[in-house]
Structures are given as structure tokens and as C-alpha cells.
């Protein structure tokens, strides 16, 4: 509808140019918006105010000329000029009610659009190191990334969801060493059964991996700890060089086990945890097209290629034995190391290779959903892309702020040690997947999120997710009642009598429904699922208000058919909207 009005006004501008009211070189951006106040009609345009200066006329005088030049249109009831020069459009009743058949005919795909034009978008999100289970911070990235991806898909983009698996690097070696030490403990080969290097991974899941390893392989990987420990430097948990110690343990493990067995334990830990993450995310309604291995970048020589490609640009030099990318040439605050003096490439080098690879795969847009703590990382990745001549505008980095858990007023401690729940799995178990998905996307991503567990579990209208689901369940309940009372709903007949929907509550509900498709587009393009969350809350509110004011199952067949069309359309939009956020729409509660 907006588009149609826009087209009309574009025609007006052409006509006014012909009449000499406007100069030929004036090309205004035509804006049509929904009015906030019904007395201002259904839509409004500020065109007259925008053009007043160029035309050398008072806004209201110009508005008169615009209205006079407006082509005939059957959908428009009345056009008013108001305030400083707004042009208000009052649409006729059919325009509003037409949304109902539009929704019911399209069904599950109502709200989908083609604005994305089939462009290929890659969305990379979560990508947590597979060194332990996902925690509640990752949960926000998961819910947010999944919602953005689903919104983009609904808006007509071709979406590729990807998880970057950091299956190489020191953190994974530390995990491997931790698993091995726990394993030795299970073999009874450690003097102190609870012994672990100060910098090792302490979570219980490490025991699980070790037990898994022991169950399937017996004592195969057992070595004499007394021999090993003699050659290790001192571990210094209290501020000493525990880094050095864990590195020594890693090297010792490699030496004692041999490359093959070391890799086996390494991969056992990796796969065990990755399976756990996959399972966790699947239960959270988050699925990927691809799990991209960091190790594959090195194995396929892509990291080497990336460094060489950068070197050819002349923005790399060697200092103190290391290879540096001169990212300061592109506005970064300092240069960054690509290859360390010890010959190992940095995580940054892998990441450059990964991003080059993404673009080589031909995506029109690459979206990275990162934790806010990575923000310092953005300029250097952009710099690398610029250096090699890739288009940095294709890269969108969405930084997700931290979520803080509250139980009522009480802020929860988020330490792994304390045993207070920190994993996504525990959160899902406590509040359910639906509430978790919804609460995570209620705020825009750059906003700190206070996640109130008590609220997420409460069954009242304080809890927006419950309130929205309840609206859906209520419609279902009405439809069940209809059946029990022996009525049927003739939808086609209802379509013929939509003009009976003249109550203010019905008008308000239809107006809200008519904004859905546009809202999905906007939420998708701006990467703002929270807009959808708020919209659904408003829609549910309109419905509950209507429900309280009017009966749907009435004796008058004509009205009954029309009203049931309206609430069925409401149900459909609630279901579609919740679906985009990964939240279920239950039939009863």
C-alpha cells in the first residue's frame, strides 16, 4: 500500500515539474509513513515540507497543489492537509481488510518477501572454541545469529549459516593436555588423583572426555608420570609462569605419546565437545549449513596463501624475527603479527585466510556475529581485506554485548568454579528453549542484556513471551470451542463480509497486522530481531484487548465468519513471527 502511494506521489512530482511548479532538477526522496494518530488518517507524507524551499512556497500552499495534482485512486477515501504541511491519506475500508485474505492465502510464508533478491549472505555465529560446553554468553550469539539468519532468509536472501570451528591452536592443545592428565588420573597413574596443571581446563566435562577415552582405549595412552614430571619446570598457580608450564606439559605429551596418539586424544576431545555443542544448539533450534574447520585452512595451505597474498601488497615486513602486517597503513592503531618468531602463524593469520576464503566463495554479504569483546579485532580484519583489494563493505560485523543473568533482583555470578549455572544447556533446562530464545533477542544486540530468570519462567503478562504465546493459544481455544458448539467457520463467506469488521478494536488489530510484512523486511535489513519481538508483543496486546471487548462465537453467522477470519489471520501472523525468532506457538497453555 505504501508503495502504491509512493508511486502516486512520484507521478505528482512529474506533473508539477511539467507545470513549472518544481524545477526539473529537484528529485525528492518520497517518504510515506504510517500515522501514529488515527485522526491523521492511515498514511502521511512530508513531501510538501521537503519541497517547500526548492519550490519557494509555503508548505501548506504546496501541499494544496500536490493534492490537486494527485491522480484518481479508488483506494483513497480522503486526503487532508494538516499541521505544518503533512498530507494525510485516509484509505477506504477495503484497503485495510484486504490484509486478512492476504495473510490466510499466504499462510506460513506470509511476511516473506523478495527484497533480498536472492543475494547470497553468509552468517557466521557462535563459533565458540570447542574447549568446553557453550555458556550463556554464547547463547545470546546463537539466538541472535539464528534470528538474523532466519529474518534474512524470509526477506529473500540466500542464507548460509556457518560455525567456525577453532580446532587448531594452543587452547585446543591445552584441552588435549588436560584430557590426558585426567585420563592418567583415571588410569591411576597420578600420585594426586585430582592433580591438574594450573592452566588446564578444570570443568567436569574434561573428566567425561577422559572417561570416554579410557572406556574405549583402556590404558593404551598411559605413561609413567614420575618420569614425566621430573622434566617439567615448576607450575606456579599464583602469578608465576603457568603458561610456560602448560606448554611444557603439551610438549611432553606430544613427545611421550607420539604424533599419532597425541592427535588421537586431541581429536577425541575435539569431537566429544563438538558433538555436545551441536546437540546443544540443535535443541536450541539453531542449525548450520556448515561447520568450517580452522585446521582445514592450514592443511589446505590457505593460511600460507593468505600471508603470501598480503606480502605481495607490500604491507608486510619482518621485525624481530616475526612477520608483521602493517595494518596501521589502513588506520589500525598498531601493526599486527602474522607469523610469530617461533614460526607459528597467529590466530589473526587464520582469520584473514578465513575471511579471504569467505569472499572467494562469492558471498554478496558476509556477516560476523561476534562477542563485544572482539571489537578491537574489527579494524585489523577490515585492514587486511582492504590491503588485498577485497571490498570491506561486504563485511558486516555485529557485536553482541554480554548478557547478565538475574534471579529476581539478584545478579548471578558467572564463574565456572562456583557451580552456579553457566551453560546454555542449564539455561534451557531451567527456563525452556522458547523463553531463552525470546529473551535473548528482546534487546538490540549492542545493548547489555539483563536476563531475568524468574521473569522468563513467570506465567503472566509481565513475561512478554508468555503473553504472545497465550494470544496464540487463545485463538486456538476459540477455534476448539467453535467446534464443540457445533459451529463451522466458512472462510470464503467471511472474506465476503469483512466490511463488518468496523469496531475500533478490529480496525486497530488489522492495522497492526498490515504492518507485519514491512516490519520483517526492516528487521532483516537492519539485523534487528528485537523489532519483531516488540511488534509481536503489540500484536498480542491488540488481540487480548479485542478478545475482552467482543465475542467471536456469535449467533450472527455473517459477523462470526468475518471475526473468525480476523483472529485466524492474527494466529497466523503470531505463528510466523514467533517462528522467525525460533519460538514455538503452542495450541494451548
Partner RNA sequence: GCCCCCGUAGCUCAGUAGGAUAGAGCGCACCCCUCCUAAGGGUGAAGUCACACGUUCGAAUCGUGUCGGGGGCACCA
Residue 250 DSSP SS3: helix
- Residue 52 touches RNA, criterion: CB under 7 A: yes
DSSP lists the bridge partners of residue 396 as 367
Least separation in angstroms between CB 392 and RNA: 15
Integer Cα distance of 230 and 446 in angstroms: 50
Integer Cα distance of 495 and 511 in angstroms: 17
CA dihedral 512, 514, 517, 521 (to 10 degrees): -70
Task: Indicate the residue among 186 and 412 with the shorter CB distance to RNA.
Answer: 412
Hey, what's the cell of 71? 491522480
Cα separations in angstroms, 234 against 164, 179, 499: 35, 20, 84
- Residue 420 touches RNA, criterion: CB under 7 A: no
- Residue 403 touches RNA, criterion: CB under 7 A: no
Least separation in angstroms between CB 160 and RNA: 23
Interaction with RNA in 188-207: which residues (CB under 7 A)?
none
The single residue among 57, 541, 561, 576 that binds RNA, judged by CB under 7 A, is: 541
The single residue among 231, 446, 483, 556 that binds RNA, judged by CB under 7 A, is: 446
The single residue among 234, 448, 483, 556 that binds RNA, judged by CB under 7 A, is: 448
Least separation in angstroms between CB 222 and RNA: 28
Residues composing the chain: 589
The single residue among 114, 344, 413, 488 that binds RNA, judged by CB under 7 A, is: 344
Interaction with RNA in 59-118: which residues (CB under 7 A)?
59, 82-84, 86, 88
Interaction with RNA in 346-365: which residues (CB under 7 A)?
346-348
Task: Indicate the residue among 211 and 589 with the shorter CB distance to RNA.
Answer: 589
The single residue among 204, 255, 290, 373 that binds RNA, judged by CB under 7 A, is: 373
Handedness of CA 545, 551, 557, 558 (dihedral sign): negative
CA dihedral 583, 584, 585, 586 (to 10 degrees): -140
Integer Cα distance of 440 and 321 in angstroms: 45
The single residue among 217, 271, 531, 584 that binds RNA, judged by CB under 7 A, is: 531
CA dihedral 437, 440, 441, 447 (to 10 degrees): -170
The single residue among 92, 171, 217, 491 that binds RNA, judged by CB under 7 A, is: 171
Least separation in angstroms between CB 515 and RNA: 12
- Residue 18 touches RNA, criterion: CB under 7 A: no
142: left (phi over 0), alpha (psi -120 to 50) or beta: alpha
- Residue 46 touches RNA, criterion: CB under 7 A: yes
The single residue among 94, 447, 488, 502 that binds RNA, judged by CB under 7 A, is: 447
- Residue 488 touches RNA, criterion: CB under 7 A: no
Least separation in angstroms between CB 470 and RNA: 4
Cα 260 to the chain's mean position, in Å?
Answer: 40
* Residue among 155, 207, 204, 203 nearest 179 (CA): 207
Integer Cα distance of 11 and 87 in angstroms: 15
- Residue 26 touches RNA, criterion: CB under 7 A: no
- Residue 170 touches RNA, criterion: CB under 7 A: yes
Amino acid at each position: 500500500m505504501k508503495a502504491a502511494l509512493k508511486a502516486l506521489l512520484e507521478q505528482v512530482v512529474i506533473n508539477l515539474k511539467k507545470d513549472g511548479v518544481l524545477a526539473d532538477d529537484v528529485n525528492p526522496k518520497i517518504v510515506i509513513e504510517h500515522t501514529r494518530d488515527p485522526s491523521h488518517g492511515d498514511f502521511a507524507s512530508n513531501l510538501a515540507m521537503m519541497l517547500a524551499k526548492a519550490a519557494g512556497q509555503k508548505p501548506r500552499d504546496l501541499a494544496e497543489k500536490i493534492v490537486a495534482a494527485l491522480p484518481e485512486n479508488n483506494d483513497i477515501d480522503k486526503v487532508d492537509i494538516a499541521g505544518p504541511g503533512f498530507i494525510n491519506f485516509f484509505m477506504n475500508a477495503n484497503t485495510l481488510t484486504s490484509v486478512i485474505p492476504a495473510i490466510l492465502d499466504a499462510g506460513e510464508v506470509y511476511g516473506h518477501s523478495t527484497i533480498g533478491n536472492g543475494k547470497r549472505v553468509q552468517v557466521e555465529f557462535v563459533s565458540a572454541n570447542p574447549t568446553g560446553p557453550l555458556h550463556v554468553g554464547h547463547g545470546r550469539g546463537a539466538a541472535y545469529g539464528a534470528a538474523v539468519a532466519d529474518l534474512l532468509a524470509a526477506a529473500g536472501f540466500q542464507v548460509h549459516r556457518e560455525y567456525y570451528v577453532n580446532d587448531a591452536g594452543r587452547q585446543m592443545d591445552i584441552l588435549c593436555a588436560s584430557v590426558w592428565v585426567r585420563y592418567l588420573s583415571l588410569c591411576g597413574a597420578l600420585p594426586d588423583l585430582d592433580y591438574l596443571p594450573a592452566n588446564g581446563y578444570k570443568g567436569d566435562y574434561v573428566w567425561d572426555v577422559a572417561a570416554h577415552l579410557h572406556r574405549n582405549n583402556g590404558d593404551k595412552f598411559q605413561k609413567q608420570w614420575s618420569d614425566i614430571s621430573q622434566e617439567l619446570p615448576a607450575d606456579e598457580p599464583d602469578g608465576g609462569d603457568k603458561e610456560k608450564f602448560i606448554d611444557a606439559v603439551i610438549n611432553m605429551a606430544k613427545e611421550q605419546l607420539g604424533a599419532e596418539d597425541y592427535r588421537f586424544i586431541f581429536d577425541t576431545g575435539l569431537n566429544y565437545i563438538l558433538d555436545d555443542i551441536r546437540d546443544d544448539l540443535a535443541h536450541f533450534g539453531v542449525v548450520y549449513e556448515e561447520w568450517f574447520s580452522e585446521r582445514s585452512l592450514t592443511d589446505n595451505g590457505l593460511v600460507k596463501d593468505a600471508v603470501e597474498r598480503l606480502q605481495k601488497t607490500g604491507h608486510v615486513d619482518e621485525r624481530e624475527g616475526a612477520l608483521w602486517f602493517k595494518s596501521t597503513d589502513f588506520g589500525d592503531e598498531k601493526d599486527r603479527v602474522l607469523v610469530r618468531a617461533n614460526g607459528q602463524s597467529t590466530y589473526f593469520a587464520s582469520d584473514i585466510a578465513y575471511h579471504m576464503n569467505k569472499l572467494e566463495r562469492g558471498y554478496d554479504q558476509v556477516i560476523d556475529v561476534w562477542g563485544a569483546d572482539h571489537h578491537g579485532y574489527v579494524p585489523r580484519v577490515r585492514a587486511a581485506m582492504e590491503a588485498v583489494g577485497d571490498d570491506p563493505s561486504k563485511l558486516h560485523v555485529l557485536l553482541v554485548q554480554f548478557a547478565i543473568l538475574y534471579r529476581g533482583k539478584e545478579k548471578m555470578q558467572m564463574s565456572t568454579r562456583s557451580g552456579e549455572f553457566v551453560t546454555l544447556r542449564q539455561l534451557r533446562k531451567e527456563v525452556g528453549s522458547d523463553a531463552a530464545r525470546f529473551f535473548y533477542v528482546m534487546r538490540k544486540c549492542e545493548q547489555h542484556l539483563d536476563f531475568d530468570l524468574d521473569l522468563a519462567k513467570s506465567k503472566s503478562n509481565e513475561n512478554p513471551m508468555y503473553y504472545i504465546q497465550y494470544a496464540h493459544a487463545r485463538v486456538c481455544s476459540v477455534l476448539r470451542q467453535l467446534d464443540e458448539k457445533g459451529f463451522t467457520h466458512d472462510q470464503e463467506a467471511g472474506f465476503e463480509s469483512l466490511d463488518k469488521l468496523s469496531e475500533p478494536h478490529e480496525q486497530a488489530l488489522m492495522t497492526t497486522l498490515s504492518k507485519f510484512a514491512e516490519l520483517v523486511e526492516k528487521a532483516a535489513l537492519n539485523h534487528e530481531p528485537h523489532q519483531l519481538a516488540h511488534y509481536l508483543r503489540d500484536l498480542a496486546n491488540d488481540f487480548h484487548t479485542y478478545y475482552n471487548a467482543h465475542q467471536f462465537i456469535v449467533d450472527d453467522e455473517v459477523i462470526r465468519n468475518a471475526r473468525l477470519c480476523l483472529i485466524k489471520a492474527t494466529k497466523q501472523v503470531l505463528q510466523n513471527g514467533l517462528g522467525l525468532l525460533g519460538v514455538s506457538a503452542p495450541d494451548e497453555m
